[in-house]
Structure 1
Amino acid sequence: MQQVTIIGAGVIGLTTAVFLQQAGFQTLLLDQAGPGSGCSRGNAGHFATEQVFPLAQPSLLKQLPGMLVDPVGPLKLRANYLLQSLPWFGRFLANMSKSKRLAHQQALSQLNHQSIRSWQTLLELCQLSDQIQYQGALLVTEQHNSKELQSCYQSFRQAGIDVSWRDKAALQQLEPELSGSLTAALDFTEVAHSPDPYLLCQLLFDKFCQLGGQWQQSAVQHISVRPQGIQIQAGQQQIVSKQLVIAAGAHSGQFTKQLGWTVPLTAERGYHLMVQPIALKRPVSSLERKFIMTPMHQGLRLAGTVEFAGLNSDPDYRRALILKQHAEALLHQPLQASDTARPWAGNRPSLPDSLPVLGPCPVHKGVFYNFGHQHLGLTQAAFSAELLTSLFRALQPAISLTPYRINRF
């Protein structure tokens, strides 16, 4: 009998597996794909601890019509997915009340506040501290009247985020490769980035195996809770486990449903394009264009956009290719696409309140959840894993997990 089984080998499942294995739990990791093969492979590499605001903001309503009609804009809802997505968007709109926004902001802040420290703990344990770089990040604007950026600045300051205002001259000193058309920026000094998120996942997987963890590449078809344990049908094999963690990202909903919980989880697709290296020191996001440029070992990663199209629909790679045009507007020189990299797409696991599902199942003993981190999976992975490990060790978690409970919906 396996003591702990984890379904999902993305960055959430991998960090959980390493923490649990290090804490003395014999852990089996299951995934139908290779470790770190989903969103964990293609994310922006930004440990975005400054992002404490839930996405359900009333200001978004004014921008939605224009975004939705632009096939390569920052937000796209495919027409053939409209009816299926209406219940999710109904819940999303219901989360725009002031009281809910403040509660969700506080819950995000609690997760983000300790995320970098938790990553440092994990990477020191794994002797991988070079896999995270502390150069900060910038949010830039092209507007001559920087009123919108000033509003963002005040919101971040009020939320307790360490941020500094940089005028055009200061911005050019920080990042000379940026275009002179940029007028100002917000400088977030307490954030970080990974120069290779996929390599980070591979190294975490190697550490998990070195610690004695077990790996099985199998598709999980069904799970059920029986008196003799938690039964997991994985390929042709039936596994009986004492404890289970569901960390399958956008695929987690099918497993929670088998255990009696229907959660409003949707696949929010993002894209990236790799281009040749540019001498940027830190991630740079655009206020107007809603994308991010992150310097990585393989080149410059252009990432972003949001597309609601369903979990199994074909990607629209125009949404990745347009990022090159956006990036060239922010840089001094034209960009060349990487010779080896193809446009990439991946499905973020998104819930309408922007909070993950994190903690124990309220009905089935031994079942735990760790999914739905939306845009903050990389950021919150280590701390989420640390919180779950506390529960496994019968210790009080560092923060209350009540806001993240599965039965909140």
Structure 2
Amino acid sequence: MSQSTMSATKGTVTIVGAGIVGLATGIELQRAGHKVQIIDKEGIGAGASKGNAGHFATEQVFPLADPAMLPKLPGMLIDPLGPFRIQPRYFVKAAPWFMRFLVNMLPSKRAHNAQAIKRLNEQSIEALIALTEFCGCSEFVTLNGSLLVFEGTPIEVVTNEYEHYLGAGVKVRMLTGNEVRQLEPSLSDNISHGLYFTHVGHTKDPYQLCQAIANKFIALGGEILTEELTSIENEYSDCSGSSISGDSKVTMRLQTGEKLTSDKLLIASGAWSKPLVKQLGYSVPLESERGYHLMMPQISSLTRPVASYNRKFIITPMSEGTRLAGTVEFGGLQAPLVNARADCLFPHGKALLPELFAGANVADGERWMGFRPSLPDSLPILGGSPNHANVFFSFGHQHLGLTWSGITAKLVSQAMSGLPTDMDISDYRIDRFG
């Protein structure tokens, strides 16, 4: 749609959240003819959108609620540097989330959730390409696949993993260690096998990708406010359950006390969405998975992301260095970054890229921690509020916010514009938890 086409606005929209999800949806809403402003307390791409692994992870079709985790749960409380960690002081608070998580391990629920993940994944790369082409930043999308590597893992285990992905419809090839090194010669000789996901991509800088999308958004007339929205007022705060007419305005208040009104509201504030939707009467089981990275300044020769089956982390080549990312920690939104959880990624990176990091030190790296908004079924919340005609949601994208940003932006924009969505989004509705 041309810029001139957008002059006949369909109304005003306020988006809460300037991460990749909110920014992408802002672009799609502008293209659909809406006048859009985005509010974020920290600014453009400042949260998980800045520090993620940069991986368009369409091979990740399996929900996190996996029965194979059950025997490992006790160790998660013991090992402070394990790949999946629950801070002991936070365990009681997180217990209700984990009870729902366990329920989603049931075979019927797991199969249902996997299909809902897969539907989004199948259209995500195409949507990202279309989004970045429109925004003039296609250079931030590299479609060169990704690798999952194994170090001395029994061939039976490797084959089982390969067949598991293949059976789920993921495009994958099984490689020997030598074939892995033909693709990426800098990888360690200790790698015995690999899975090559051929229809996967990555970005060289997720933060700059956000900035590029934001620049296009502003060029199209959008406004970005670095403010904190604290309340959704008048009719929306009484949680009466009655539907509000399409002519009603949404009234909001910022932390400064300033009031804003808008025809429609989209809550896309990631891990911080829970208190806002609670004002609308929804109690969603949203938890924050605290993800870490160590950004090393060394520029690797890798041409694609490399994940380790044994070490449970991922390496992504980026324009400013090499990002070592991974680990999941449940500890809430207030606890500070734990330096050791970022630093523990360094020996793993050195083991897989021995020459690159031969003279490096962990102190050379930049530590980061961000909050992944996760729900027990590994699905996002998308679409409209059943009780408020002008309020919509797009949050809870867990590990796949970057991957799903383009497709969920398209779907939510269609819903907010009163159009049929390209796929059924009822599996992602906000009231699915009862």
TM class, shorter-length:
over 0.9
Q: 5+ unaligned residues in a row in structure 2: which ranges?
A: 1-9, 236-243
The answer as to 2:321 corresponding to 1:299 is yes
Aligned to 1:384: 408
Q: Quote the Cα distance in structure 2 between the aligned partners of 1:194 and 1:34.
A: 20
**1:352 aligns to what?**
376
* Identical aligned residues as a percent: 45
Output aligned runs, 1:104-115, within 5 Å: 104-115=113-124
Q: Which residue of the other structure, out of 277, 302, 318, is the alignment partner of 1:256?
A: 277
How many Å apart are 1:391 and its aligned residue? Answer: 1.3
Amino acid at match of 1:376: L
Look up the equivalent residue of 1:408 and give its one-letter code. R
CA distance in 1, matches of 2:253, 2:136: 35
Instruction: State the shift of 1:58 in Å.
Output: 0.4
Equivalents in 2 of 1:160, 1:76: separation in Å? 30
Is 2:249 the counterpart of 1:229?
yes
Q: How does 1:270-285 map to 2 (within 5 A)?
A: 270-275=291-296, 276-285=298-307
CA–CA separation in structure 2 for the residues paired with 1:308 and 1:56: 15
CA contact (8 A) 2:265 2:392 kept: yes
Task: Note closer, same or farther for the CA distance 1:299–1:141 as it changes in structure 2 (3 Å cut).
Answer: same
What is the alpha-carbon root mean square deviation over aligned residues? 1.5
Does the 8 A contact of 1:30 with 1:216 survive in 2? yes
Q: Classify the secondary structure of the residue corresponding to 2:389.
A: coil
Mapped partners of 1:69, 1:334: distance in 2: 32
TM-score after normalising by structure 1: 0.97
Which residue number in structure 2 is paired with residue 186 of structure 1?
195
The one-letter amino acid paired with 2:386 is P
Deviation at 1:128, TM superposition (A): 1.1
Say whether 1:98 aligns with 2:122. no
Q: 2:232·2:250 contact (CA, 8 Å) conserved in 1?
A: yes
Match of 1:396 among 386, 398, 420: 420
* Post-superposition offset of 1:159: 0.7
Equivalent residues in 2 for 1:42-57, closer than 5 Å: 42-57=51-66
- Contact 1:50–1:188 (CA<8 Å) still a contact in 2? yes
Aligned with 2:40 (options 31, 36, 41): 31
Task: Give 1:144 deviation, angstroms.
Answer: 4.1
Question: Residue 303 of structure 1 aligns to which amino acid in structure 2?
Answer: A
Give the secondary-structure state (helix, strand or coil) at the position aligned to 1:281. Answer: coil
Which shifted more, 63-72 or 314-323?
63-72
Q: CA deviation at 1:70?
A: 1.2
- Following the alignment from structure 2 to structure 1, what is the Cα–Cα distance between the partners of residues 335 and 85? 14
| Residue type at the aligned position of 1:83 | V
AA of the residue aligned to 2:125: I
Letter in 1 for 2:224: W
The alignment status of 1:208 with 2:217, answered yes or no, reads yes
For 1:144 and 1:218, how far apart are their aligned partners in 2?
50
1:3, CA displacement in angstroms? 1.1
Q: Does 1:313 align with 2:335?
A: yes
CA contact (8 A) 1:224 1:259 kept: no
Higher alpha-carbon deviation: 195-204 or 123-132: 123-132
Q: 24, 28, 39: which is aligned to 1:15?
A: 24
For residues 190 and 156 of structure 1, the distance between their equivalents in structure 2, rounded to whole angstroms, comes to 13
| Distance in 2 between residues matched to 1:341 and 1:170, nearest whole Å | 30
Alpha-carbon offset, residue 397 of structure 1: 0.8
Question: Does 135-144 or 222-231 show the bigger shift?
Answer: 222-231
Secondary structure (helix, strand or coil) at the match of 1:395 reads coil
Deviation sequence 1:230-284 (CA, Å, 0-9, x none):
1111122101111000000000000000000000001110000111112111000
Deviation at 1:340, TM superposition (A): 7.4
Q: Distance in 1 between the 2:132 and 2:181 partners?
A: 33
Secondary structure at the counterpart of residue 300 of structure 1: strand
Give the residue type in structure 2 aligned to 1:209. I
Whether the aligned pair in 2 keeps the contact of 1:49 and 1:113 (CA below 8 Å) is: yes
Secondary structure, aligned partner of 1:267: strand
Q: Secondary structure at the match of 2:344?
A: helix
Change beyond 3 A, Cα 1:129–1:225: farther
Q: Which moves more between the two structures, 326-335 or 345-354?
A: 326-335
Secondary structure of the 1:365 match is: strand
Change beyond 3 A, Cα 1:249–1:151: same
**Candidates 163, 168, 191, aligned match of 2:177:** 168
What is the DSSP-based 3-state SS (H/G/I as helix, E as strand, rest coil) of the residue aligned with 2:233?
Answer: strand
Greater alpha carbon shift after TM alignment, 393-402 vs 90-99: 393-402
Distance 1:12 1:340, change over 3 A: farther
Partners of 2:77 and 2:88 within 8 A in 1: no
Q: Secondary structure at the match of 2:431?
A: helix
Alignment equivalent of 1:286, drawn from 308, 332, 336: 308
CA distance in 1, matches of 2:168, 2:81: 32
Task: Give the deviation of 1:337 after TM superposition.
Answer: 5.3
Q: Is 2:398 the counterpart of 1:374?
A: yes
CA apart distance, 1:339: 7.9
Q: Which amino acid is the alignment partner of residue 343 of structure 1? A: R
| Mean Cα deviation higher: 40-49 or 14-23 | 14-23
Distance 1:339 1:85, change over 3 A: closer
**Are residues 1:244 and 2:268 paired?**
no
Name 1:80's counterpart in structure 2.
89
Q: What corresponds to 2:5 in structure 1?
A: none
CA contact (8 A) 2:14 2:262 kept: yes
Code of the aligned partner of 1:347: F
- Select the residue among 129, 132, 142 that pairs with 2:141: 132
Checking the alignment, whether the CA contact within 8 Å between 1:299 and 1:338 is kept in structure 2 is no
Report the number of matched residues: 409
Cα displacement (A) at 1:210: 0.1
User: Contact (CA 8 Å) 1:149, 1:287: kept in 2 or not?
Assistant: no
Residue 280 of structure 2 aligns to which amino acid in structure 1?
L
